[in-house]
Amino acid sequence: MLVLIVFFWTAFAHAQPLAFPERSVRVVIPFPAGGPPDILARAMIEPFREKFRQALVVDNRPGASGNIGSEIVAKAAPDGYHLLITPDTVITVNPHVMKNVDFDARKDLAPVTLLTRISQMLLCHGSVPAKTVRELVVLAGTNPLNYASGGVGAPNHLAMELFLFHTGVKMRHIPYKGAAPVLQDLLAGHVHCAFLGTPAVIAHIKSGRVNAIAISSSIRSPMAPNVPTVAETGFKDYEVTFYQVLAAPRSLAEPVKRTLAAFANEVLATPELQERTLEPMDHARVGGSPSDAAHTLAQVSAKWEKAVKLIGLSFE
């Protein structure tokens, strides 16, 4: 009888889910500090501590278009203590265009929730005599132009490559390490054009140092309502929107994924985070369940798979 009691008690104990989290949680950001995923992660540190009485530790691991940091999480134990906040491109674009990668983000990462949705603004230095998409297309047909990006495979690189494909424009690509040096050299006139986030450039648009040409998404930015979308200028098939994704290693238990998704949704919905973080970054809150995120990312991945084949885009 004693043996049976011990057996059933042991089985019962093992069947009980462990409380989560029981220690600090590491969230990897696969891009440099100061970018949107880094800002979002740091905005969650205090709410995480208040809710779970544990630390949320931000770990920036940039490189290889987000693959270095993403691989760390993809190969970590699926216990909920190793998370990733990244632009969706790591999952939706990189697997289609990058060779010799030791993991497949589509299979090795589990989406937890979509945090925010963002667009990019097409800008040209004030010395470039083009203030509309049509004027830029005509100008590029007779003058050699270049554009800067935050690196090969970065969202602003992809936004521009798709723009060039749809418009037939030719520009020379100059990659940088992150968006900050792109903005610096665009303002200095060292490069002609770039796609960048609206908040970083709105003051420079008002001063006339750069010209706002168009927005990449299907809707205009609340921060620059007079700037048209690319589609509105006549290229109706162009639309580029990016998501910031909270992800974890595959095989993470569903209850833990739901706990993390519920926390992220709760924090994103607070007026304080929206006013202090999302609105200044020109981000729209998304949220949703792990299955919602997986469904959306599968659709975005299929779209980019078709696009990169049309463009002939590939990275080493």
b/e 14-36 (16+ beta carbons within 10 angstroms → b): eeeeeebbeeebbbbbbbbeebb
What does residue 22 show for φ and ψ, rounded to 5 degrees?
A: -105, -5
How does pLDDT run across 254-302, given as a tens digit for each residue? 999 999 999 999 999 999 999 999 999 999 999 999 999 999 999 999 9
Using 50, 70 and 90 to split pLDDT, how confident is the model at 106?
very high
Residue 217 pLDDT greater than 50, yes or no: yes
How does pLDDT run across 34-77, given as a tens digit for each residue? 888 999 999 999 999 999 999 999 999 998 889 999 999 999 99
pLDDT at 3: 42
Go through the domains of the chain in sequence order and give each one's CATH number. 24-118+242-311 (3.40.190.150), 121-233 (3.40.190.10)
Higher-scoring residue by pLDDT: 45, 11: 45
> pTM for the full model?
0.84
Range with the poorest average pLDDT among 3-7, 157-161, 193-197: 3-7
d(CA 248, CA 289): 14
